[in-house]
Amino acid sequence: ASQFGINEALEKLGIKFINEGTSTGIESFSSGEILDSYSPVDGKLIASVKMSAPEDYERVMQSATEAFKTFRLIPAPQRGEIVRQFGEKLRQNKEALGKLVSYEMGKSLQEGYGEVQEMIDICDFAVGLSRQLHGLTMHSERPGHRMYEQYHSLGIVGIISAFNFPVAVWSWNTALAWISGDVCIWKPSEKTPLCGIACQNIIAQVIKENNLPEGISCLINGDYTIGELMTSDVRIPLISATGSTRMGKIVAQAVAGRLGKSLLELGGNNAIIVTPDADIKMTVIGAVFGAVGTAGQRCTSTRRLIIHESIYDKVKEALVAAYKQLRIGNPLDENNHVGPLIDIHAVEMYAKALNRVVAEGGTIIVEGGVLSGEGYESGCYVKPAIAEAENAFEIVQHETFAPVLYLMKYSGEVDNAIEQQNGVAQGLSSAIMTNNLREAERFLSVTGSDCGIANVNIGTSGAEIGGAFGGEKETGGGRESGSDAWKIYMRRQTNTINYTTSLPLAQGIKFDL
Q: Which residues are catalytic?
A: 265
Q: Using CB under 6 A as the criterion, what x/- string covers residues 412-451 for binding ligand NAD?
A: ----------------x-----------------------
228 binds ligand NAD, rule: CB under 6 A: yes
Of 251-290, which residues contact ligand NAD (CB under 6 A)?
Answer: 251, 265-268
Instruction: State the Cα–Cα distance between residues 122 and 110, nearest whole angstrom.
Output: 18
User: Cα(first)–Cα(last) distance of the chain, in Å?
Assistant: 82
* Minimum distance from residue 229 beta carbon to ligand NAD (Å): 9
Strands 217-219 and 270-274 come out as: unpaired
Tell me the CA distances in angstroms from 459 to 192, 304, 364, 482, one per residue in order.
Answer: 27, 11, 23, 20
| Nearest CB to ligand NAD, comparing residues 162 and 204 | 162
One of 112, 166, 213, 243 touching ligand NAD (CB under 6 A) = 243
| CB neighbourhood size of 276 (10 A) | 14
Q: DSSP secondary-structure letter at 382? A: B
232 binds ligand NAD, rule: CB under 6 A: no
One of 23, 39, 231, 449 touching ligand NAD (CB under 6 A) = 231
| CB neighbourhood size of 67 (10 A) | 24
From the CA atom positions of the chain, what is the Rg in Å?
24
Q: Which stretch binds ligand NAD (CB under 6 A): 239-247, 360-368, 378-386, 440-448?
A: 239-247
Instruction: State the Cα–Cα distance between residues 494 and 138, nearest whole angstrom.
Output: 10
Q: Which stretch binds ligand NAD (CB under 6 A): 37-45, 102-110, 144-152, 236-244?
A: 236-244
396, 302 in Cβ contact below 8 A? no
One of 102, 242, 330, 421 touching ligand NAD (CB under 6 A) = 242
Instruction: State the Cα–Cα distance between residues 507 and 513, nearest whole angstrom.
Output: 18
268, 463 in Cβ contact below 8 A? no
How many residues are there in the chain? 513
Strands 183-187 and 217-219 come out as: parallel
Size of the site for ligand NAD (CB under 6 A): 30
* Minimum distance from residue 104 beta carbon to ligand NAD (Å): 13
| Nearest CB to ligand NAD, comparing residues 298 and 409 | 298
184 binds ligand NAD, rule: CB under 6 A: no
Instruction: State the Cα–Cα distance between residues 502 and 495, nearest whole angstrom.
Output: 18
190 binds ligand NAD, rule: CB under 6 A: yes
* Minimum distance from residue 117 beta carbon to ligand NAD (Å): 17
122, 171 in Cβ contact below 8 A? yes
Distance of CA 13 to the CA centre of its chain: 22
| Nearest CB to ligand NAD, comparing residues 54 and 361 | 54
213 binds ligand NAD, rule: CB under 6 A: no
* Minimum distance from residue 462 beta carbon to ligand NAD (Å): 11
Positions in the binding site for ligand NAD (CB under 6 A): 160-165, 187, 189-190, 223-224, 227-228, 231, 242-244, 247, 250-251, 265-268, 299, 399, 401, 428, 471, 475
